[in-house]
Structure 1
């Protein structure tokens, strides 16, 4: 048996009985200062390997080490299964007993736990707290519980879909694109540059699905914009997995979608600047005296400005106005070259989106969730015909 004792924070210990009267399971929650979290909690119950060099792990580490006092609010916390839990309200100590390492231990929050163990007792001390959720009496459902806690669409459906070949319809449309090798169809997938040996910056497969799905004119009409592609990529992936074969309809237009994405990402700011405004004055622009600050997501061109997804997605999705379905082949096609239409209307389109953004406080996230700007962008593209902006 393994016993671990925590010093907990004040009056935060809570016991939650199961709502079903005959159930044997119980749940306990409490906050602990990260420096009081003990080493050695069993990890065999966690279905994921903890890769501390991943972007997720780095974000957790950055949040913890910021010492901002909000880690317990921003982090989901640590979930464990245990044989028994004892709370001493006089000493504010909790002792957790782990009797069987196959049933008792860390279920979720393994990255958080390992990062805390790495940094606890740093000098100067990090004054942050983390939430613990402890369950007892769940031995009979431990596998289902561990899967449920870890199998969000983000962390489990993606690799499961890859194993089942469900991403093949997407791959068929973009396998010749220069960014194809950088798409992460599996969790923690890493590719290296053949010349330098350095890890490449990967692109989540969910983002690929979300971007393509915005051009699904059977689902998204002029009056029903694909806001979900911006606000919930996990939900979009879930919809995709219900009917992957439908995405073979995008094979002919998919390469152009990502070329268009790159054109918008690299030209949007200058298009706005051409109207007499200064995109670089926006806090979210990342502008540094015209110097390259990053590479464009897909084609890896140098960019001097950041274009947040909240601005880019409504802009890109507007070009579904140029998509039609060929009834004979059941494939989508362009009624006009989207890059040519972008060149004709980019100044007006960028101006309208940026003016709208300014009207709601220059918050790109709010822009991305507001149907009004998606509609306005769509209408702007719709009215651009044969070289004339009507």
Structure 2
């Protein structure tokens, strides 16, 4: 397997790094995090202009027909800058589900806007008390003569307060289905919050929400659980790449700090025991990157046979397991080697610690993916 990025992927990542370096510095990011919306519209528009919102969409829907491997380098750059705009949730989750399962009319209504940055989506699938179980149980949709009635609740929907459209999973008599829901529809109640790493999310309640027949994603297609599981694997691969970027920043920042911070009149980096810890951080980051590339290559596969699906699940769970362990070690070591400064709001490394902690938990922690890896092996 070739672990090097193509020239186009490297150029895109470098262009993104230059933009983020000039317009998404630490102070600028803090201002966005504490703003009313938790999102910068100019930054989102630029991400769309660079093609990041369109890379993974089919060409017939206004995209470039790429995949997770094409987005990896860019997601690493986003991880380094701790970008809080919900790129992953739009491209890897909701957008992918619409592209994979939507009718031509639904794709035409949603995906061109996603590609050009004028429409944001959010996937609501987690339910209270069900941790990482992606199959809906408490959120249900019942058929009515004129369409559907949706009731239930979803938890920690990343990007929901900023989304123009929600994609909601629900249990029906025929199995799991996905529905297109306008957040302004009567009966939809959002309780926005800010996550520990600065992103915006919301708990969402659905109280007898009346939906038209055209709200069913995919029309009369069969149950959507396999498509939902595939989208979650795709998004997990992108999350692994984002975590690698955050870890790389933590390693570089810690190395630079130990070179300049002095103890007993000499730089911390001169102590052999600290050198060993820095090397361990670097090794874990590079191993995590290799696993992230493997996961991305597997989710980009087109084979949908049961054996191929199990192989995809194994690769993604193995990568997420390694990412979770590496994120914990690298983030904790970075804070410890910075000393008390590593815990302050003024140091970016403390915010990187929070982001890595969240990334290690999202889409399943180490225990969850270890169990899934054993189950599908």
Q: TM-score when scaled to structure 2?
A: 0.25
Q: TM-score when scaled to structure 1?
A: 0.24
More helix by share: 2
Larger Rg belongs to = 1
Q: Which has the higher contact order (CA 8 A, sep 6+)?
A: 2
